[in-house]
Structure 1
Amino acid sequence: MTGSFWWDLAIGVAAALVVAWAVLVVALVVVRPRGGLLREALRLLPDVLRLVRRLAADRTLPRGVRTRLWLLLAYLALPVDLVPDFIPVLGHADDAIIATAVLRSVVRRAGLDAVRAHWPGTGDGFEAVVRLTGLRR
């Protein structure tokens, strides 16, 4: 194998990583909360993090739901963001968008009652979470 092969391989892997990153950014744009809900999601993020931690520890929830929640907590703990902060709007909101998308899937699978039982915030905050997840009671 020549040195050219390794350069071609490195360029191919780098190109694949850039394409995968671009696809993820587009997915974030698609699933982001619309209108004023993004600002509300950012405001609720501390309560949502406590909710996610509590739900992840709840052994009565399905394993797949808990796994998603633990993966979300691991992503949020990483110092590296999917979208750098210098990118307008998405740069600072990517954590809230990803948390909202995971929470939507959790609510659909575990139900609003489980989320309500673990919600650490106010009733108004819970209603905002209901709006963010796109589900109604």
Structure 2
Amino acid sequence: MTRALTIAAALVGLWALACLVMMLLAHRLPPGLMRQVAEFLPSCVTTARTLRRDPAVPRRAKVALLVAVVWVVSPIDLLPEFLPVIGPLDDVVAVILLLRYAARSIPRERLLDAWPTDPHLLERLLGPQVRRRPGRSLR
């Protein structure tokens, strides 16, 4: 039992180290699309953690953000991570869909304030801001 626990702890440590190295290398990229893509998932996780602590964010948005974070850090995926290009694709698609769902009930300014990197990619993913008519709900 302790051997399995030691192996699991070592694997989690290696995974965390690999994530840290990738984030550090992403900061060395020149500004542009490749840098934004490299920073996308860490930015999503940071944004979700920030917004989950915000009392003004509705509960359903917090649940969607929690599911997005769990989806990213979960070792269980629809597509295995070791497959080139398409491995992380299920993480990115799930996070984008959950972020767009949560963004419908979060004020755009609050969402952009919580985004830790360049907001242009987030604005492109969310699309144009839809103005709701008074008295109409999103249900």
The question of a shared fold, defined as TM-score above 0.5 by the shorter chain, is answered with yes
Structure 1: runs of 5+ lacking an equivalent: 1-36
Indicate if the aligned counterparts of 1:41 and 1:96 stay in contact, CA closer than 8 A.
no
Structure 2: runs of 5+ lacking an equivalent: 1-32, 131-139
Q: Distance in 2 between matches of 1:50 and 1:70?
A: 11
* TM-score (norm: length of structure 2): 0.59
Shift of 1:88: 5.0
Q: 62-71 vs 108-117, which deviates more? A: 108-117
Structure with the largest fraction of helix: 1
Q: Which residue of 1 aligns with 2:113?
A: 117
Q: 1:128 aligns with which of 95, 112, 121?
A: 121
Q: What RMSD in Å do the two structures reach over aligned CA positions?
A: 2.5
**% identical equivalent positions:** 29
Q: Which residue of 1 aligns with 2:57?
A: 61
- Residue 51, structure 1, aligned to residue 44, structure 2: no
Shift of 1:41: 4.1
Indicate if the aligned counterparts of 2:78 and 2:90 stay in contact, CA closer than 8 A.
yes
Q: Which runs of 4+ in 1 moved over 3 A?
A: 37-43, 86-89
Aligned length: 98
Higher Rg: 1
Taking CA–CA contacts closer than 8 Å with sequence separation of 6 or more, which of the two structures ends up with the larger relative contact order? 1
Q: Distance in 1 between matches of 2:94 and 2:42?
A: 14
1:90-116 CA-partner distances (Å, limit 9, x unpaired):
322221221111111122221311202
